[in-house]
Amino acid sequence: MRVVITQIAATSHLCLTAPIGWALKAAGHDVVVATQPDLLNAVNNTGLTGVAVGKEARLAERMANLQPEETIHGTEYDITETRPHVLTYEYTRDTLAALASPLSLDLMVDDTMYDDLVAFCRHWKPDLVVWDSVTFSGPVAATVCGAAHVRTTCGLDHWARMRELFLRLRKDRPGAGDEDPVRDWVAAKLAKYGCDYDESVILGHATLDSVPSWLRYPTESAHLPMRYVAHNNPGAFPSWLSESIPDRPRVCLTMGVSLEEVWRTGATFALKDLYEAIVDLNVEVIVLSEPPFGDSVTAIPDNIKFAGFVPNNFLLKSCAAIIHHGGWGTTATAILNGVPQIIIPHSVYDAHQLAEGVATRGAGVHLPPDQVSAASLRRELQRVLEEQTFARSAAEIRQDMLSMPTPHDIVKDLDDLVSRHRQATPMR
């Protein structure tokens, strides 16, 4: 069958979708990754075939030039909100309305991507569209050409959780009628291409979810659990990683790629706190970035190595702990390798909830940025390294993840889904 994978121009999202692309391709299917032009080089580096749709996203540049009130981050609405007293009918309705608008989803995917992807799908006629959960041009194009479509998550599925909560609250809301800002948003996009509203556009015919069951929010939508497979940007296996066996615990520190590539924000704590925290500890800290420039270089302790880019999945196999920002890719790679985590979460999306979930399972520490100091970082690092319960819990949740179906296993489910869809919906 023919498969289109589509997503926004964010490398971290590509790292999550590439493994299902490989699995489909290895099973003999034709796979194309349709994305904004600024991600094509990264797509090519995965070994998959890319096609440019829409104009360049330039997400980091555009986000840096926008005022807070021009994005959803400048509003009072948060899709990751879970406090019951906040989640009123009005709040859930208005949060979804803010997301389905130029403040959020239309900021990441503009009309040119919709037009180009629809045109490509009309021409190529895919049987299946796999779409990143914030890239709604995917299900729209799939509906226009009659293809089956499934979405992929990039963390906890707050969109499905909030959508289902809104519909439940609306039933008990006098005077609410059938108001639905997401339906109206989707209907307008479909109408542009001559199609009627289709509810499946909102949550897909199914969702490929790499979040383990103990961390996942229960939703009513069809979820296909799929084991997270670590994929990093292409990079050489460094000689020092294979040659050196550290005689002291090795700790990885990374802030991922999304903070800089999309959000233009830096680390969630100051490097000087790290320097002071570990200067006299018997540890080796590998920092996955280039060394800082200027006078601060002389203050770098001898037990810190700025390694630039190193494939994290391989580095973590030699690590006793990891300190990071709470992105799903980094969190999942640490889980996959059974490495205890110190998560200092950034404020974007659900990092704080991932941190709390890992901490609740005993596999790491949730250290909020406003509580970070040299003393607290040192204390928590020593705890994670010295208390064996962290390592045992990390090993347990690793086994949970390894028990999930692999992308290879999921291909059969996708074949079946496409077959059922063909019987119910003739191709346009």
DSSP assignment string, 37-103: GGGHHHHHHTTSEEEE-SS---HHHHHHHS-GGGSGGGSS--TT---TTT--HHHHHHHHHHHSSTT
The residues of the chain scoring below 70 in pLDDT are: 244, 256-268, 293-298, 426-428
- In this predicted structure, what is the pLDDT of residue 241? 86
Residue 18: closest CA among 28, 283, 35: 35
Q: What percent helix, strand, coil does the chain show, rounded to 5?
A: 45, 10, 40
Can you tell me whether residue 128 is helix, strand or coil? strand
How high is the pLDDT of residue 218?
Answer: 86
Distance CA 88, CA 71 (A): 22
For residue 381, which phi and psi values (nearest 5 degrees)?
A: -65, -40
- Global pTM reads 0.92
Q: What is the pLDDT of residue 75?
A: 85
Nearest alpha-carbon partner for 256 in 318, 342, 327, 333: 327
User: In this predicted structure, what is the pLDDT of residue 23?
Assistant: 98
**DSSP string covering 309-371, please?**
---HHHHGGG-SEEEE---HHHHHHHHHTT--EEE---SSTTHHHHHHHHHHTTSEEE--GGG
